[in-house]
Amino acid sequence: MDRHKRERNPVLLFLGVSGLIGLSAYVNAFPPDSPFILAGFFSLLATSIGLMGAYVFRRTRHAVLLAVGLSLYLFLRYLGLRQVFYVILLIASIIALEYLWKENQ
C-alpha cells in the first residue's frame, strides 16, 4: 500500500522567511520597553516559526507545537526562569499535548 506524501506549499516557506525578515526589522525598530511591543514580538515569532514548521513538517499539529514551545521557552527566559526544571516541564507538556492530539485523530 503506497502512501501519498503531502506536497509542500512554497507559499508557507515564503511567508515564514518574510516573517523572520519582518521580525528582525521589528527588533531593530522598537525597543522592548512595553508589554504591547513584547506581545508583538512573540506573536510575530510564533507565526513565522509556525509557518516554516508547517512547510518542513507538513503537519499543522507539529508546527503549532513547535511555535508554541519555542515562544514559551523564550518567554520563560525573558521572565528570568532559567532553571532546568522549567525546560523539562515545558518539554513534558509538549509531548503530552502531542499524544493527546494524536489520540483524538
C-beta of residue 38 within 8 angstroms of C-beta of residue 78: yes
Q: What is the pLDDT of residue 104?
A: 76
Separation of alpha carbons 102 and 59, rounded Å: 12
Q: What is the pLDDT of residue 2?
A: 63
62-82 pLDDT, tens digit per residue, is 999 999 999 999 999 999 998
Q: What DSSP assignment string belongs to 51-103?
A: HHHHHHHS-HHHHHHHHHHHHHHHHHHHHT---HHHHHHHHHHHHHHHHHHHH
Q: What is the pLDDT of residue 72?
A: 93
Separation of alpha carbons 59 and 36, rounded Å: 30
The yes-or-no verdict on residue 1 having pLDDT over 80 is no
- Domain spans, the chain: 10-104
Whole-model pTM: value is 0.85
Per-residue pLDDT band for 6 (boundaries 50, 70, 90) equals: confident
